[in-house]
Amino acid sequence: MEIPQLWLKKARENSTSQSEYKCKKCNDTGYISVIIEGVSYAKECECLIVNKLEAQIAKAGIAQAFKACTFESFEPWEPRVFAAKEIAQRYAKDFLSIERERINSLSLLGAVGSGKTMLGICVLNTLVRAGVEVLYTPYREMASALKRSVLDEYEYAKVCRRFTSPRLLFIDDLYKGAASTDPKYVYDIINARYLAKRPMLITSELHADGLMHIDEAVASRIIEMSRSYIRELRGDGLNYRLRGL
Distances in Å between the Cα of 221 and the Cα atoms of 25, 79, 179, 199 are 40, 28, 21, 11
C-alpha distances out from residue 36 to 25, 39, 236, Å: 18, 5, 56
| Helix, strand or coil, per DSSP, at residue 168 | strand
Nearest CB to Zn ion, comparing residues 46 and 205 = 46
Contact window for Zn ion (CB under 5 A) among 39-47, 91-99, 139-147, 223-231: 39-47
The DSSP call for residue 21 is S
53 binds Zn ion (CB under 5 A): no
Shortest distance (Å) from residue 11 CB to Zn ion: 21
Q: Does 50 bind Zn ion (CB under 5 A)?
A: no
Please identify which residue in 11, 45, 106, 111 interacts with Zn ion, judged by CB under 5 A.
Answer: 45
Which DSSP helix (H) or strand (E) runs through 144? helix 139-148
| Number of residues located near Zn ion, criterion CB under 5 A | 5
Q: 171: closest CA among 220, 112, 124, 209?
A: 124
CB of 153 to Zn ion, least distance (A): 38
CB 196, CB 72: distance < 8 Å = no
A 10 A CB-CB count for 125 gives 24
Query: Minimum distance from CB of 96 to Zn ion (Å)?
Result: 21
Question: Which of positions 190-219 make contact with Zn ion (CB under 5 A)?
Answer: none
Verify binding: residue 25, Zn ion, rule CB under 5 A: yes
123 close to 149: Cβ distance less than 8 angstroms: no
Candidates 11, 26, 169, 186; binder of Zn ion (CB under 5 A) is 26
Identity of the residue, 15 or 181, whose beta carbon is nearer to Zn ion in the bound complex: 15
Span interacting with Zn ion, options 26-34, 74-82, 195-203, 224-232, rule CB under 5 A:
26-34
Measured CA to CA, the distance from residue 70 to residue 6 in angstroms comes to 13
In the complex, the smallest distance separating the C-beta of residue 121 from Zn ion, rounded to whole angstroms, is 21
Distance CA 199, CA 107 (A): 11
CB nearer to Zn ion: pick between 32 and 192: 32
Closer to Zn ion by Cβ: residue 45 or 119:
45
CA distance 170 to 67: 17
When binding is defined by CB under 5 A, the residue of 8, 23, 98, 103 that contacts Zn ion is 23
Least distance (Å) between residue 148 CB and Zn ion:
34
CB closer to Zn ion out of 25 and 148:
25
Q: Which residues bind Zn ion (CB under 5 A)?
A: 23, 25-26, 45, 47
